[in-house]
Amino acid sequence: MLDTLRRIVQEVNDAKDLAEALQIIVQRVKNSMAVDLCSVYLADHARQQNILMATDGLNPESVGKVALNFNQGLTGLVGEREEVVNIADSPSHPRYQFVPGSG
């Protein structure tokens, strides 16, 4: 796993911009963990929202458009706990929130 992380860091360092770096992260993490999807949300403190900035598994057209309030959904739960949340069946979780058009 450490070798995988090193390779990801090397690829991210070579990215031309933030969007490319985030896309590398979601693709490599998704593949290395063998999961259905991986997304990165960035916090917009002025708007009090988490904004979808990269995804591998959701509709790519939703990047930059999907925004959840800090207390909404599983992204809100991650922000509250300030740690990774690994859920086998996300749609069955009480904090799960489907965003129409996101995939």
Instruction: Please report the domains of the chain, with CATH numbers, ordered by start residue.
Output: 2-82 (3.30.450.40)
pLDDT number for residue 101: 82
pLDDT at 72 over 90: yes
Could you tell me how many residues make up the chain?
A: 103
How does pLDDT run across 1-35, given as a tens digit for each residue? 789 889 999 999 999 999 999 999 999 999 999 98
User: For residue 49, how many other CB atoms are within 10 A of its CB?
Assistant: 18
Q: Check whether 43 has a pLDDT greater than 80.
A: yes
Query: Which residues on adjacent β-strands are paired with residue 52?
Result: 41
pLDDT of residue 1: 78
Q: How many CA atoms lie within 13 A of 103 on its CB side?
A: 16
Query: Given the structure tokens 């949340």, which residue do they identify?
Result: 85
CB atoms within 10 A of CB 36: 9
Residue with tokens 């809100």: 76
